[in-house]
Amino acid sequence: MAGAGIIEGETGAQRLMGYVLDVGRGDGRARCHLTVGPEHTNRHGALHGGIVATILDNAMGATGSLSRDPGGRHPFLTISLNTQYLAPAREGEALVAVGRITGGGRKLLFIEGELRGPEDRLIATATGVFKPVSHPPREEQA
């Protein structure tokens, strides 16, 4: 997956887990894509719940970022995240988490997320509170 609005390999967690962020759809909603591999599964052969939460957290945080920066790179902090696990995801399945702002203002945003698998099957949902970083870190000077 490549193109405008695609963020790959930006963070250590993203490189480790292999997910891709899509912030370029122009609808204010970020998407986090992951194809489930054996490295993502638990002892039951299903996608690990911590990875489910991570994918949702990234889609939701990047959605918050889009409210401040059309490039989706303004940093946000997760204040709270509540995840509901509805169905298992299995190895080989391509998943997409999508965030949607439901409320808030300048200091806090309330964001919902959905994680879906093949045939639009709902895997998990989440709600969270996210806070923009007031002073984004400066890039290192050479």
Residue 134's pLDDT is 84
How far is residue 6's CA from residue 41's CA, in Å, rounded to a whole number?
Answer: 25
Strand partners, 104: 109
**CATH classification of the domain holding 36:** 3.10.129.10
Task: Kindly report the backbone phi and psi dihedral angles of residue 5, in degrees, each rounded to the nearest multiple of 5, phi listed first.
Answer: 80, 10
Identify whether 73 is part of a domain: yes
Q: What is the mean pLDDT of each run of 10 residues along the chain (142 residues)?
A: 80 94 95 98 96 98 95 94 98 98 96 98 98 73 44
Cut 0.85: pTM above it: yes
Looking at residue 133, the DSSP 8-state letter turns out to be -
Tally of domains within the chain: 1
Owning domain of residue 91: 6-132
Which among 114, 85, 80 is positioned nearest to 99, based on CA atoms?
Answer: 114
C-alpha atoms less than 13 angstroms from C-alpha of 6 in its C-beta half-sphere: 9
